[in-house]
A and B are shown apart, each in its own frame.
Chain A
């Protein structure tokens, strides 16, 4: 036990961990070229282990393909750093007046590590698009998809059953929540191209859809698998062939669903004896207990140029539960904080008539500020004491 504690509390371990962190950041930065920021963050920093492979596009890429370097991921390094710091405090440090600055710095650091983990786990980012004069009560993220079944039979409410596509990838049978139906993905493509099948061509028969219900009854469509596109601003076309089963385990048919088969198309439906359900694969949505109405979107440019000077959205938040109404102006560095969410001005579309807001849920957003403040105070105290000591010595 002693040796274990000694190992975990040693300063050598700290140095090794910090060096490995540098190496991880270096290789993560290299891979960002290929995988984009979101994927790199997931692979390198929100993981325990990562394997870096020599990129094909780099000089001598073809002959160096065998070169692979395993690295500890962010969770592993962060976890060990946290344990290392705590163990060091348990064994080596004693809280004295002289060392209080150091304690303050270390406590700030611990808080920073924990807040980073907390942000990874609980924070959510999505986007809300609102037309001028229109309103929205949900936001969506194009990085994740969900399979939804919507029951529109009630007059004032719609019931939505959702299944994240991460569950579909495994090809297992999944019960549709609160219903007696179940679903299985026969095939799931994280990215695909859907095209109209050329008439009576033999070559295309191979790719011809295996679906037999829904949109394919009206148009002959083909699906081609595509590699995931990690570049910034690109959106993957998640697509699946799904088979639906009723309560007695009888197949109701196979549907083709994709996030490009969206509101522009007539809805695809499943008809059972008792009800009719709309089925769709769409970007993951989060519904809010309030609506945001866009009164006006302003996009000012520097005179004579296309360079933006200011974007702003004048919104009206209407809380459905508390009967509360609030007006706000959202512009750069001036977000709206409402209901535990932060709304930033992110983008716009449709010739300046649609505003796109970034909706961020991060309950731990204050922690990094507190930890940096603690570390700053600790440093001022620690260095200040040394400075005073030095001044006293100089006097003598």
Chain B
């Protein structure tokens, strides 16, 4: 049944078999080694796929004209903040960028109570992936603060990668929101600055 050439064929088969086993063993130890290499100096302008710079806020019809007609505002900009011109419905805009990371501060105003303090705190909590709280635990999350001679609330929400500092001020039928959102370390450092910024805010008041 077997010809004279048999030994050569057997050698060939065993060689191919060895090759296959070798390849498989090679695959078992692939990418297991530590290594060193050099790369051109990196700039910190790496694309982050998970986060957008400024989450788009949906502007409802009539909101823009309300924002335009709302009272004027004055404040003292902390030295370490960079101010940007007001955009869309934002009455004031700031950016903080230091060794600890970045954060953004926005001042907005909306008609009415925008669903109430609880709904707004939960909206912010959701933005930094925290679970919502109920009315009972709301008190633990906010503390009273006077902004522009009116009773407002201060809140600090600590997320895993981002935190929020917020000021909420019901003001003659509208609500002002002052929000700082950014990397947890920056927020941690900016608490006092943010509070003194809240105290420095003066809103044009024609009701008294």
Contacts and interface: CB of A to CB of B under 8 A. Distances in A.
Contacts of A349: 49-50, 52
A156 interface: yes
Contact of B9 (A90, A178, A356): A90
A144 to B, nearest CB: 8
B40 A320 contact: yes
Interface string A77-95: 0010011001100110000
Contact of A160 (B13, B39, B183): B39
> Which of B2, B26, B36 is the most central at the interface, judged by chain A CB atoms within 10 Å of its CB?
B36
A179 B45 CA distance: 28
A153 to B, nearest CB: 11
B30 interface: yes
B140 to A, nearest CB: 12
A263 B186 CA distance: 14
A194 B160 contact: yes
A91 B49 CA distance: 58
B47 A219 contact: no
Contacts of A118: 23
Contacts of A155: 41
Interface in B145-171: 158, 160-161
A160 B37 contact: yes
Given A130-B47, A164-B31, A177 B161 contact: no
> Which of A75, A137, A167, A176 is the most central at the interface, judged by chain B CB atoms within 10 Å of its CB?
A75
B39 A161 contact: no
A366 interface: no
B35 A117 contact: no
A302 interface: no
Contacts of B158: 196
Given A2-B2, A219-B184, A264 B24 contact: no
Contact of B36 (A144, A152, A159, A264): A159
Contacts of B41: 152, 154-158
Given A195-B160, A260-B161, A91 B47 contact: no
A134 B30 CA distance: 33
Q: DSSP class of A's interface residues: helix, strand, loop or mixed?
A: mixed
A138 B31 CA distance: 17
> Which of B27, B34, B48, B158 is the most central at the interface, judged by chain A CB atoms within 10 Å of its CB?
B34
Interface in B120-159: 158
A264 B48 contact: yes
A161 B185 contact: no
B27 A264 contact: no
B174 interface: no
Nearest to B21: A79
B114 interface: no
A83 B185 contact: no
A371 interface: no
B39 A162 contact: no
A86 to B, nearest CB: 5
Given A90-B10, A351-B52, A266 B17 contact: no
A131 interface: yes
A177 B36 contact: yes
A1 interface: yes
B71 to A, nearest CB: 32
B60 interface: no
> Which of A2, A120, A129, A264 is the most central at the interface, judged by chain B CB atoms within 10 Å of its CB?
A264
Contact of A264 (B52, B99, B183): B183
21 contacts: A5-B10, A79-B24, A82-B20, A86-B16, A90-B13, A91-B1, A91-B2, A117-B23, A117-B27, A121-B23, A131-B45, A157-B41, A160-B37, A161-B34, A176-B34, A196-B184, A219-B185, A263-B48, A266-B101, A350-B52, A350-B53
Interface of B: 1-2, 9-10, 12-13, 16-17, 20-21, 23-24, 26-27, 30-42, 44-53, 56, 99-101, 158, 160-161, 183-185, 188
Given A175-B34, A177-B34, 9 more contacts: A82-B16, A83-B13, A136-B46, A155-B41, A159-B36, A161-B34, A264-B183, A266-B101, A350-B52
